Chains A and B, each alone.
Chain A
Amino acid sequence: MSFDFAVILAKGPAILAGLGVTVLIWIAGTLLGAVLGFLVATARRYGGRLADLVLSVPVEVLRGTPFLVQIFLLYFGGPYIGLRLDPVAAGLLGLTLYGAAYYAEIFRAGFQSVPPGHSEAAQCVGLTRFQTILHVQLPEMALLVLPPSMNMAVILLKETALLSLITVPEMTMTVQAIGSQQYAFVEALVVLALVYWALVEFANLLGRLAERRLSAYSA
């Protein structure tokens, strides 16, 4: 058995298009998930006991079930309750919700790590609750929240591969299709794995740089 990578590499533009979809959905899903997760964490902390209890349910369900089951439920089950989404929309919504549950926990831990004395002091000098969150708690949290946030972003990048199973035309689906057309399935998968590997290591590198940058402000 000989391997022929030339037929795969000849399809470079198509692979890049798939890579583009992967990166776009990843970044959009991660940012939306982080924002939604932050809102959930804030509501859980400042919205009273009831909000905390009610919001803990979706967070635990999303964290306790496989992402694959979630997107199948959304994409195949959605139309039965009038939620008819195209693959990209379902994929993006699924990734956002899944990410939001984990980001909510990351920010919750972040809130808990800020010593209560600091926010009490802020309120004593006359800062409103909103100002306290914005000027005291968020900057103190940032350093602590950054490493797990970057870690989660990398996890979400890898989860985007599952979107191929609901026919989102991202990189995994694109490269698999090329592999079958060219009768070079193994070669296609090797190329696919290498591109993901490079992308993940690049994201890890960015995370380490951001950490180093931010830690300059820690003292």
Chain B
Amino acid sequence: MTWQLFELLLQASLMTIFVSAASISLGLAFAIGLSAMRMSGLAPLVWFARIFISFFRGVPLLVQLLLIFNLLPAIGLSLSSLATALIGLSLCTAAYQAENLRGGFEGVPRGLIESAEMAGLSPVQSFVWIRTPIALRLTFPALVNEAILILKASSLVSVVGMIELTKMAQNLAASTYMPLPIFASAGLIYLAINWIVAIAGRRAEAALPGLPAK
């Protein structure tokens, strides 16, 4: 295991970080949308959200990625590996984040929602300005957790042709015949990234404004 090999792994880990960060952010936006659908009270939207969440939480991410990678070209949509990976990861994390947010939305104090109504906010305004920010604040620790899960899950995007940390480790292991030190180093890099995310998450959690009283 030379420094040169380790440097290649470090470079590839930037792709891991980029794909994960982009998917988490996109997934969060989708998850808020899914939550809005679920709480809209309109049957088709509620059912769409429910089935979406159940499907993406019920099928292994590997199978989802393979399906998206092969299905889209079959129906005439040719996307790059990066786009495929981002779509796959962000749809999957959206389902998990929507499930996390459900608890957050349930935790919004009734009184605040009523006050918003009394102050003349429409249901949409109340959703955007009162309920969503509080739900996000309540579920912040779950978001940090999800970020760590996605950092680890991003190791699967190699199956759609992305070269990130795990794929780079596979390539190097095959060409150098040193799988042991190379996969161990890749593992250490994942561990370090996740450790930093966990600590940053705790710091951010402490710096955020306090939780609303029940």
The interface of chain A, by Cβ under 8 A from chain B, is 1, 60-61, 64-70, 72-73, 76-77, 80-81, 158-162, 164-165, 172, 176, 185-186, 189-190, 192-193, 196-197, 200-201
Contact = CB atoms under 8 A, between A and B. Distances in A.
Interface size class of B (residues with CB under 8 A): 35 or more
A196 B191 contact: no
Which of B61, B170, B179 lies at the interface centre, i.e. has the most chain A CB atoms within 10 A of its CB? B179
Contacts of A196: 58-60, 63
Contacts of B30: none
Contacts of A192: 63, 67
B191 A61 contact: yes
Given A64-B195, A72-B169, A1 B183 contact: no
Contacts of B22: none
A67 B152 contact: yes
B187 A70 contact: yes
B209 interface: no
B113 interface: no
Nearest to B178: A80
Interface string B38-65: 0000000000000000110111111110
Contacts of B140: none
A197 B54 contact: yes
Given A64-B190, A76-B179, 6 more contacts: A159-B60, A162-B62, A172-B63, A186-B67, A190-B67, A196-B59
A157 to B, nearest CB: 8
B183 A76 contact: yes
Contacts of B71: 186, 189-190
Contacts of A185: 70
